[in-house]
Amino acid sequence: MDYLMFQLEKDTHTPLYEQLYNEIKGAIIDGTIKEGAKLPSKKKLAEYLAISQTTIEFAYSQLVAEGFISSEARKGFYVQNLEELALIEKESPVIVMEEKEMDTISIDFSPGKIDTESFPFSVWRKYSKEIINDVNKDFLQLGHPQGDYVLRQQISSYLYQSRGVKCTPEQIILGSGTEQLMPLIIRLLGKEAIYGIENPGYPLTHHLFLDDKQKSIPIPVDSEGAVVSKLDDTNATVMYVTPSHQFPTGAVLSATRRSQLLSWAYQQDNRYIIEDDYDSEFRYTGRPIPSLQGIDQNQRVIYLSTFSKSLMPSLRIAYAVLPESLIMQYKQKFSYYAATVPRMDQQILTKFMDSGHFAKHLNKMRKIYKRKLEIVTKTIANFNPIVTISGEQSGMHILLTIRTCKREEELIALARQTGIRVYGLREYITGDLENDSDPQIVLGFGGIDTNDIPSSINALINAWEIRKTP
Ligand SMILES: Cc1ncc(COP(=O)(O)O)c(C=O)c1O
């Protein structure tokens, strides 16, 4: 290492040597300068930073004294092993611990993971090449703030055919994920809005409402989805729901509750429903359930969906369909913001949808996830009635209920000790959970290879030491 670039300020009360010491120490702790690395010589660094060699000398001596670096005669200064320094362990930033943790996880049952084996790489590559071409220079320019019109046209016809959503391309806003669109919707609905949120529910909603100091009221969820009648006891004006596949319990909002929810919204002019239809493409049993937006008669549903499940979470493309009344307000308040999705990705996706590859991909993936779910269900059936499943009609995760005296945290820790990551229902709950209830685990299976499912589940149950008694 010949140089180290740090911004040292000459006009502050902190001496230069101390600033340099702090910068190098920080870089060693956060792993930017790795163990064993050789620091620049005092002469080189002094020239590079345009400060005196004595300043470097002071900083290096302090780092040597504290054990961050060692001085080797005629060789130079080397970064030491941090683990030998108890002090550093305490200060070690989260990022270093996360990296270490990732290394030891061999099976991750995250509900956010998708199958990566069946992605149509060649088609995606072909369309990328066609887009990144100097005859198509327009993609270099900023497009429409709501996203390219042609892509919004594709989405509106796809939504109508597959989800019964009725909208024009003008009502659609593209964003780089549900997590980017939600704050926008919150701003659009104004400070007076009070939100009902499903409990347990999508953690993003809990965080968003807390961060924005927006009022939110947890609404319980049972086997028929959100208990809509509870809304009447609150002063909520907007209800966020995942009706097709409640996140994370997997419940489907029953027909009665759907009409109850719409009636609730119609009772006052300022009431809205945010329908998050995040994984509705993957429904395996029964007839498809139409979206709430499709049966809404009074423009009270804000429909949200994403390509994170249907294509890939890293694409970062989601969309909101706003009722006409809100789209006017949106245009007035927000149209000076540029679209948050790169045009290159928008154009590749447009081609992918227009050519029929998206529909084909969905059909293929539905079969793959259905197969994975069947294997999950079959493997877990061996442990019935100790372990039972719910929420298995759709999506890429299920809910496990485990009859054991072990607590949820214990189950997570036992799995973790054998390199398996699982997610407890408590992570998705606002407030307290009944203490005597059986532990529940949200088990994502989308990212586990089909052939590895039985062994992964068996390894999990083994880690829990809850074998069925013969
Ligand atoms: C309930 C819910 N909504 C939306 C999403 C997708 O979010 P994004 O579009 O930000 O990837 C997820 C992803 O796991 C989800 O669980």
Q: What average pLDDT does this structure show over 310-324? A: 97
Domain assignment present for residue 424? The answer is: yes
Choose which residue among 244, 308, 397, 423 to substitute to test ligand 1 binding: the one with the highest number of ligand atoms within 8 A of its C-beta: 308
| Same-domain status, 161 and 298 | yes
**Which of 325, 359, 393 lies at the terminal end of a domain, its last residue?**
359
**Which of 309, 344, 359 lies at the terminal end of a domain, its last residue?**
359
Instruction: Please give the Cα distance from 298 to 377 (Å, whole number).
Output: 41
Which strand (E) or helix (H) includes residue 71?
Answer: strand 69-72
Whether the pLDDT of residue 84 is over 50: the answer is: yes
For 302-366, the three-class secondary structure string (H helix, E strand, C coil) is: EEEEECCCCCCHHHCCEEEECCHHHHHHHHHHHCCCCCCCCHHHHHHHHHHHHCCHHHHHHHHHH
Domain assignment present for residue 9? The answer is: no
Q: Is the CB of 308 under 6 A from ligand 1?
A: yes
What local confidence, expressed as pLDDT, does residue 454 receive? 97
| Same-domain status, 325 and 441 | no
Whether the pLDDT of residue 31 is over 90: the answer is: no
Domain that holds residue 252: 121-359
| Same-domain status, 304 and 343 | yes
**Which of 359, 382, 405 lies at the terminal end of a domain, its last residue?**
359
For the chain, how many structural domains are there in total?
3
What local confidence, expressed as pLDDT, does residue 102 receive? 61
| Same-domain status, 125 and 179 | yes
Reported for 416-419, long-range contacts at CB under 8 A and 24+ positions apart, including other chains, are: 417/463, 418/459, 418/462, 418/463, 419/104, 419/105, 419/106, 419/107
Choose which residue among 110, 185, 204 to substitute to test ligand 1 binding: the one with the highest number of ligand atoms within 8 A of its C-beta: 204
Whether the pLDDT of residue 447 is over 50: the answer is: yes
Q: In CATH, what number is assigned to the domain containing residue 402?
A: 3.90.1150.10
Domain assignment present for residue 7? The answer is: no
Please give the share of the chain, as a percent, with pLDDT higher than 70.
Answer: 93
Report which residue type is found at 74: R
Q: What average pLDDT does this structure show over 263-285? A: 95
Q: What does the pLDDT look like over 215-246, one tens digit per residue?
A: 899 999 999 999 999 999 999 999 999 999 99
| Same-domain status, 354 and 405 | no
Higher-pLDDT residue of 247 and 466 is 247
What local confidence, expressed as pLDDT, does residue 235 receive? 95
Average pLDDT over the chain reads 90
The pTM for the full model equals 0.80
| Same-domain status, 343 and 445 | no
Domain assignment present for residue 231? The answer is: yes
Q: How far is the CA of 131 from the centre of ligand 1 (A)?
A: 27
| Same-domain status, 321 and 232 | yes
| Same-domain status, 204 and 62 | no
Whether the pLDDT of residue 172 is over 50: the answer is: yes
By alpha-carbon position, which residue is closest to atom 4 of ligand 1? 278
Residue 212 CB contacts under 8 Å (≥ 6 apart), including other chains: 183, 186
Whether the pLDDT of residue 90 is over 70: the answer is: no
